[in-house]
């Protein structure tokens, strides 16, 4: 299972909160969600939702697109194993 980390501030000011809710509700068996303090990406944080899976930052224009990109990344990594 992969871990997706979200910046607490980004969750509050963008649609990343929607992504967190969807992941926890619909994809809990594939992705573990963590909301952490800060990623020090302040300029991006206020503009669009994003998440980090290990060292990879995934960005999107809205929460639903972010969920799709996260699941695509997780499933792609699983298929490589």
All structural domains of the chain with their residue ranges: 2-80
Q: Is the pLDDT of residue 29 over 90?
A: yes
Using the predicted structure, report yes or no on whether residue 40 has a pLDDT greater than 70: yes
- Dump pLDDT digits (tens) for 47-66: 899 999 988 999 999 999 99
Q: Which of these CATH numbers, 2.40.128, 3.40.30, 2.60.40, 3.30.450, describes 2-80?
A: 3.40.30
Whether the per-residue pLDDT at 69 is higher than 70: the answer is yes
CA-wise closest residue to 74 among 34, 38, 32, 40: 32
What is the reported pTM?
0.88
Tell me the C-alpha distance between 53 and 29, whole Å: 16
Between 78 and 19, where is the model more confident? 19
């Amino acid at each position: 299972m992969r871990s997706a980390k979200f910046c607490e501030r980004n969750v509050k000011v963008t649609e990343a909160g929607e992504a967190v809710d969807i992941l926890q509700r619909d994809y809990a068996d594939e992705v573990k969600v963590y909301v952490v303090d800060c990623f020090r990406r302040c300029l991006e944080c206020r503009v669009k939702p994003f998440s980090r899976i290990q060292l990879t930052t995934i960005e999107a224009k809205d929460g639903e697109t972010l969920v799709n990109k996260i699941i695509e990344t997780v499933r792609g990594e699983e298929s490589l194993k």
